[in-house]
Amino acid sequence: MTFLDRIRSLIRKIPFEQRREIILDISESSSAGFDYFLLVVLSGSIATLGLITNSPAVIIGAMLVAPLMSPIIGIGLASVIGRDSLLKTSFFALIIGAALAIVLSALLTLVNTYLPFVSFQELPAEVVSRTHPSPIDLLVALAGGFAASYALTEVKLSAALPGVAIATALMPPLCTVGVGLALQRWDVAGGAFLLFITNAITIAFASALVFFLRGFNPLPAEGNRKLPPSLQLSAFLIVLLLVPLTYFSIQFVQQASQNRELSAVISSEVDKLQNADLVDIQSVRENETLNVILTIRTSNLLKYEQVVALQESIVGGLNQSVSLRVNQIFAEQLDPLIPPTPTFTPTMTRTATMGPSPTQTFTSTATATQTATSTFTPLPTRTPTYTPSPAQAKVLSTILPLMRIYQSPGGPVISTLTQNQLLTILPGETVFQNLVWVEVVDAEGRHGWVPKIFVYIITATPLPTWTNTVTMETISSFTPTP
């Protein structure tokens, strides 16, 4: 008895009548009908909106609605029983459903790029998490495929299928592909598509293996005890998938190790600065240079020489070329138990000085002179000069996402805004990541930057400034000749 026969002897075989009912049920659920496409559209829409809004709860809802598990299990069953019609139907439903989900996700993402509800300055964490598949994802899909196919063969275990749908997560990777294509992020689309292919092939292999062990064969009798060729092909594809998954895993581990080393070196160097706390680290590698953006909270703003010294220390700690940019957040710490130290400012005091006694002086009698003739000069006039006042703006709807004031375009967040909140628009304007940013000040005096698309600028009315025009009055006089 071979090892495979021993395993099959330990697993309870399904009676022929029950196997026929299971085949009919899977064949019906694997076909591409109206209900199937409707669920693909609904689950794809839910998953896309959950991804771009970074909402795990919404994404889980899409996993429960997604119908892609049925055609994949149908492919696994068809490869065991040798039914070509079921294989073609299931494969067609899977391809059309996947293509529809990708196109729908790309369209929804493109529409949201023109709406002020979602910001794509940075990819959401739910999108990024589905762009780096690893062998762990393969093991998850393998266990999910075993659980799904086994639950389908046991009526009492059907309640476990929703949990299996959440674990395997077929729809979110497809929608991530659409998001990547819409944003022209080919690395995102490629990584997410590899994750979907990994899940699909692994689930098909796991389901085929379970059906084979539970007695599904091309023949209704005992049939051939050898492993079906289709099952062997699925196993070979899984082994083949391990190559790119292992490669990406090694890259991911190396990147995580580099980020950990970078964080340790920067934290150590920032701790050496006086009254400075590290808030955030962002790093992007371009060719041989590591571009690092630090956000530091400090009560003593750093000088240029300190930033240069910090960059040299980081380069020495990492032994590689580093381009550094520091964003500083000024923060003054106040303790209610420690009052501020009073600062005395000297003031000027008037002091009396004794001088000599006045001396009597005799003045001659005044001589009559002719009264001076005055020259009339018009009184000063006020001339209005119009000076433009700073423009005002209102914040548009900030339901999705929350609107914030940034210290610099794409920099750290200063405060959160509310709908219809008034802002003062300053002359500063720049372009960052394909968005026009304007310089603003809120009612509490916080100075920062916001994307111009999220505010409605009210046209400023110039206010008059009165200027006095003064003409000097001249007086002429003369003394008659005796």
pLDDT bucket at 223, cuts 50 / 70 / 90:
very low
pLDDT computed for residue 459 by the predictor: 59
* The pLDDT of residue 44 is above 80: yes
Name 381's Cβ contacts closer than 8 Å, sequence gap at least 6.
Answer: 468, 469
pLDDT computed for residue 97 by the predictor: 92
262 or 45, higher pLDDT: 45
pLDDT computed for residue 5 by the predictor: 58
> Counting runs of H as helices and runs of E as strands, what totals does the chain give?
13, 14
Task: Give percent above pLDDT 90 in the chain.
Answer: 8
152 or 343, higher pLDDT: 152
Q: Are residues 22 and 118 in the same domain?
A: yes
Q: Are residues 137 and 200 in the same domain?
A: yes
Q: Are residues 57 and 107 in the same domain?
A: yes
Element (H, E) at 429: strand 422-432
Tens-digit pLDDT profile for residues 373-388: 555 555 555 555 555 5
Residue 472 lies in a domain: no
Across the chain, what does the average pLDDT equal?
A: 76
Q: Is 415 left (phi over 0), alpha (psi -120 to 50) or beta?
A: beta
Residue 239 lies in a domain: no
Residue 479 lies in a domain: no
- Domain span including residue 218: 3-227
pLDDT computed for residue 133 by the predictor: 81
Q: Are residues 215 and 275 in the same domain?
A: no
Residue 191 lies in a domain: yes
Q: Are residues 148 and 276 in the same domain?
A: no
Within a 10 A sphere around the Cβ of 153, how many other Cβ atoms?
19
Tens-digit pLDDT profile for residues 305-333: 888 888 888 888 888 888 888 888 877 76
Q: Is 363 exposed, middle or buried (0-12, 13-18, 19+ CB in 10 A)?
A: exposed
pLDDT computed for residue 177 by the predictor: 94
Tens-digit pLDDT profile for residues 422-439: 888 888 888 887 788 889
Within a 10 A sphere around the Cβ of 376, how many other Cβ atoms?
5
242 or 346, higher pLDDT: 242
Residue 436 lies in a domain: yes
Q: What average pLDDT does this structure show over 126-155?
A: 82
Write out the two tokens for 280.
Answer: 């955030």
Q: Are residues 280 and 395 in the same domain?
A: no
Q: Are residues 24 and 90 in the same domain?
A: yes
Q: Are residues 144 and 270 in the same domain?
A: no
* The pLDDT of residue 99 is above 90: yes
Residue 364 lies in a domain: no
- Domain termination site, one of 310, 330, 350: 330
Cα 439 from Cα 448, distance rounded (Å): 6
Q: Are residues 29 and 70 in the same domain?
A: yes
Q: What average pLDDT does this structure show over 99-126?
A: 85
Cα 361 from Cα 156, distance rounded (Å): 128
Q: Are residues 59 and 189 in the same domain?
A: yes
Q: Are residues 24 and 165 in the same domain?
A: yes
Q: How many domains, the chain? A: 3
Which CATH number fits the domain that encloses residue 276? 3.30.70.1350
122 or 25, higher pLDDT: 25
Q: What average pLDDT does this structure show over 352-361?
A: 57
